[in-house]
Amino acid sequence: MIVINIKENESIDKALKRFKKKFEKTGVLKELRSRTYFEKPSIRHRAVKLKAKYRQKMKDLENN
């Protein structure tokens, strides 16, 4: 459970921003989205490799 202590004279907007940051760090929403459908491990690994390949390509283009 996420607990946010509101300090004196702190606006609700700042407290809400801190809450959102903490909530995002827990990864709950990311896990929920990944569990909505089953993805075979081989397909997941392929996607990771494609992303890495794309990132490397972009890095190489940036350096040239």
What pLDDT is recorded for position 31? 92
* Residue pLDDT, tens place only, 1-52: 889 999 899 999 999 999 999 999 999 999 999 899 999 999 999 999 999 9
In a domain, 43, yes or no: yes
What pLDDT is recorded for position 60? 95
In a domain, 5, yes or no: no
**Per-residue pLDDT band at 64 (split at 50, 70, 90):** confident
DSSP assignment string, 6-63:
PPTT--HHHHHHHHHHHHHHHTHHHHHHHTSS---HHHHHHHHHHHHHHHHHHHHHHH
In a domain, 1, yes or no: no
Domain that holds residue 23: 12-63
In a domain, 7, yes or no: no
In a domain, 34, yes or no: yes
In a domain, 6, yes or no: no
Q: Do the Cβ atoms of 22 and 1 come closer than 8 Å?
A: no
Our count of domains for the chain comes to 1
CA 31, CA 18: separation in Å to the nearest integer? Answer: 20
In a domain, 25, yes or no: yes
In a domain, 52, yes or no: yes
